């Protein structure tokens, strides 16, 4: 897949090179600033023009993969009207976080500690997140809209929602399937794959989307779901067969295998999560990891459950006002959604 593609960047780029085993986490002295962002708007406009002049099938492809299709035009208002779960109380304007540095945020019982791990061939970023309340972990959509092919960069979505920490989500907007519950609101109910459910009581479960419904999940206390995968750690063990899993069957997305940039979320305990963003496709800096290697990283951090999110050029970690990893496109790429903790 072209590195500038607006689709989830999950296909291998070039020949895979085995990554080193996880190193030891050390505090990041200063967040790494991402390099200049790739201008996605120009790519989309140019690519759309080429597709539209290529005939009917290309026009269909452009409509399916490039043209925004807005289903909910004001997500904030929609959630205010439809959410069945209580959101965290809004802080007073003069409230200050207990701690906010280049590597740590804490506010009451919610805390985030960011560190960087480096080896000879690999660099990845770790955020250890303890939530005072499960609803402190929220989701946000690009442009405050829900639908297909609606994108902004992770940092743009994060800034618009007052996030102190964020990672890219599952890029739900690339596909029309999956169960998408966000902040206690159902947005999509088209079970298709293995999903991840965050509950308001703080526990997190891997589940089969095809064996339930969004309404049933919501009634059982689900706050957020993600629909990408696969689960790479379950019961404290690496999941068998993850080195041959496919998530999408569209052209350019047949595989998520090989050494790739990655984003994953792991569960250490109720209300205790770990997020990892692995840089990749950057020779001499970081080559990326396979899914089994990603699972080993998550186990080394204490996760008993871990789930793969959209990776490749989408893999982004944002903290304290800036992107701290080095996205493989040479800068941030637009995505459809994030997970975040607000200041």
Domain extent, residue 321, equals 26-32+70-342
pLDDT at 98: 79
What is the structure's pLDDT at 65? 75
pLDDT digits (tens, 9 = 90+) for 7-65: 555 443 333 333 333 444 444 444 444 443 333 333 443 444 444 445 677 887 778 77
324 vs 63, residue with greater confidence: 324
Is the pLDDT confidence value at 169 over 50?
A: yes
42-51, 156-165, 216-225: lowest mean pLDDT where?
42-51
For residue 273, CA distances in Å to 40, 57, 113, 168, 305 come to 31, 44, 11, 15, 10
The answer to whether residue 211 scores a pLDDT higher than 50 is: yes
Is 288 a member of any domain? yes
Q: Is residue 45 part of a domain?
A: no
Q: What is the pLDDT of residue 221?
A: 97
In tens, the pLDDT along 117-140 reads 999 999 999 999 999 999 999 999
Q: How many residues does the chain have?
A: 343
Residue 51 in any domain: the answer is: no
Least confident of 55-64, 76-85, 167-176, 287-296: 55-64
Does a structural domain hold residue 88? yes
Helix and strand counts by DSSP (H, E) for the chain: 6, 22
CA dihedral 85, 175, 196, 74 (to 10 degrees): -20
H or E stretch at 190: strand 185-190
CA–CA gap between residue 160 and residue 173 (Å, rounded): 19
Candidate from 5-9, 139-143, 278-282 with smallest mean pLDDT? 5-9
Phi, psi of 240 (to 5 degrees): -65, 145
Return the percentage of the chain with pLDDT > 90, whole number.
Answer: 71
Strands 123-130 and 137-141 come out as unpaired
Average pLDDT over residues 228-234: 97
Q: Which residues, at least 6 apart from 216, have a Cβ–Cβ distance to it below 8 Å?
A: none
Number of compact structural domains in the chain: 1
Classify residue 211: in a domain, yes or no: yes
Task: Give the model's pLDDT for residue 252.
Answer: 54
- Looking at residue 269, its pLDDT comes to 98
Beta bridge partners of 106: 99, 111
User: What is the per-residue pLDDT for 83?
Assistant: 83
- In this predicted structure, the answer to whether residue 251 has a pLDDT above a threshold of 70 is no
160 sits in which H/E element? helix 154-160
Residues above pLDDT 70, as percent of the chain: 78
pLDDT for 254 equals: 57
Q: State the pLDDT at residue 3.
A: 35
Average pLDDT over residues 307-329: 97
């Amino acid at each position: 897949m072209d590195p500038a593609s607006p689709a989830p960047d999950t296909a291998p780029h070039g020949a895979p090179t085995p990554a080193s085993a996880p190193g030891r986490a050390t505090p990041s002295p200063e967040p790494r600033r991402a390099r200049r962002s790739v201008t996605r708007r120009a790519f989309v406009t140019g690519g759309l023009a080429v597709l539209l002049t290529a005939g009917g099938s290309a026009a269909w492809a452009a409509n399916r993969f490039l043209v925004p299709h807005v289903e909910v035009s004001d997500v904030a208002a929609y959630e205010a009207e439809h959410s069945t779960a209580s959101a965290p109380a809004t802080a007073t304007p003069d409230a200050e976080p207990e701690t906010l540095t280049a590597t740590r945020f804490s506010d009451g019982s919610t805390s985030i500690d960011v560190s960087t791990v480096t080896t000879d061939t690999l660099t990845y970023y770790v955020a250890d997140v303890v939530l005072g309340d499960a609803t402190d972990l929220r989701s946000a959509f690009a442009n405050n809209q829900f639908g297909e092919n609606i994108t902004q960069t992770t940092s743009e979505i994060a800034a618009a929602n007052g996030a102190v920490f964020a990672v890219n989500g599952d890029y739900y907007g690339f596909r029309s399937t999956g169960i998408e519950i966000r902040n206690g609101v159902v947005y999509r109910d088209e079970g298709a794959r293995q999903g991840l459910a965050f509950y308001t009581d703080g526990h997190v479960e891997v589940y089969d989307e095809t064996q339930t419904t969004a309404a049933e999940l919501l009634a059982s206390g689900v706050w957020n779901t993600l629909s990408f995968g696969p689960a790479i750690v379950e019961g404290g063990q690496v999941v068998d067969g993850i080195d041959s899993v496919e998530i999408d069957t569209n052209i350019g997305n047949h595989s998520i295998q090989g050494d790739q940039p990655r984003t994953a979320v792991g569960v250490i305990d109720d209300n205790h999560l770990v997020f990892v963003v692995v840089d990749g496709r950057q020779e001499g800096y970081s080559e990326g990891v396979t899914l089994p290697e990603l699972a080993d990283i998550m186990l080394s951090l204490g996760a008993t459950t871990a789930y793969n999110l959209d990776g490749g050029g989408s893999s982004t970690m944002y903290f304290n006002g800036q992107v701290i990893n080095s996205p493989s496109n040479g800068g941030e790429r637009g995505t459809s959604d994030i997970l975040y903790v607000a200041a």
